[in-house]
Structure 1
Amino acid sequence: MKHILREIGMIARCLESIANIEFKDLNLNKGQFLYLVRICENPGIIQEKVAEMIKVDRTTAARAIKKLEQQGFIVKVSDEENKKIKKLYATEKGMQLNPFFERELEHSSNVILKDFTDDDKEKIYQYLVKMRKNIEADWEYVKRGNKRDY
């Protein structure tokens, strides 16, 4: 069997490495841009949902979000009905970066999908969505402290 997961991992690491180098000038540390993008795309999202979208544990998300808040990229606003719930919003400083992130995503997508037909791109997308859905149950299971049976 071909090592599909190794290929996916190498692609992900290449893209993350590029982003970390290019976004360093924006004072964004490793992976922080992922959180900021999701918050820009989903104003009022709660921290737990951001962690779920990015597929990281809550502690990792809390650290990254706290740093973004300290840097002035986002703010936490208490929910009007339940003050314990903190909604996340990008500040003007954070929103100013969103067009840059969109251009980077567009560029990286064009590079990675160069020479693929529109039909190929659609199939790849559908396969990747299916793969993600297949693994999410295991991710949830292991995240709760369980071990998979190989």
Structure 2
Amino acid sequence: MEKDTLRKIGTISRALDSIANIEFKQIKLTRGQYLYLVRIYENPGMISDRIAEILSMDRTTVARSIQKLERQELVVKKSDPNNKKIRHLFVTEKGKELAQVIEKENSFSNQMALRGLDQSERKQLNKLLSKVEQNVDQNWHFVKNGGKREY
């Protein structure tokens, strides 16, 4: 049963990711770029390291995706007034429009995926998935920082 839980989460994730990639192709966003765009939209001025942390992604992958968003004029970097090495990220007007479309898709997908669950079940599912996310995040940090898991 436990083996099936992560498989189900993976299947759900891959299916929703595939749907988003197909739908966002028409707005010229490549695989996963929508994740970065929306996080920057939700958190104006954040830095790329923080995005990597939020999404449990490596910094290099995040940096490459942000560069693509910059080339598409969806995101701009602005230097920190106190430390010129720090670059804050902001969405452009064009990026804002796309982020709003992405948020609509996300809301639709949430409603579709949770159809048939009452409020209590939705709260319970969210609470349980938050615990799973926290466990995985702790393990991800451990391994990312050189830890070796014993299995």
TM-score, structure 1 as length reference: 0.97
Instruction: Indicate conservation of the 8 Å contact 2:75/2:89, yes or no.
Output: yes
* 2:129 aligned residue: 128
5+ residue gaps in structure 2?
A: none
Alignment root-mean-square deviation, CA: 0.8
Q: Is it true that 1:43 corresponds to 2:41 in the alignment?
A: no
* Pairwise CA distance, 1:145: 2.8
* 1:106 aligned residue: 107
Matched position secondary structure for 1:77: strand
Extract structure 1 runs of 4+ deviating beyond 4 A: none
* Pairwise CA distance, 1:23: 0.2
Question: Letter of the aligned partner of 1:60 in structure 2?
Answer: T
* 1:147 aligned residue: 148
* Pairwise CA distance, 1:147: 2.0
Q: Is it true that 1:70 corresponds to 2:71 in the alignment?
A: yes
* Pairwise CA distance, 1:103: 1.1
**Higher RCO (CA 8 Å, separation ≥ 6 residues):** 2
Give the percent of matched residue pairs that are identical in Structure 1 and Structure 2. 47
Alignment length (residue pairs): 150
* Pairwise CA distance, 1:100: 0.9
In 2, the alpha carbon distance for the partners of 1:81 and 1:45 equals: 15
* 1:115 aligned residue: 116
5+ residue gaps in structure 1?
A: none
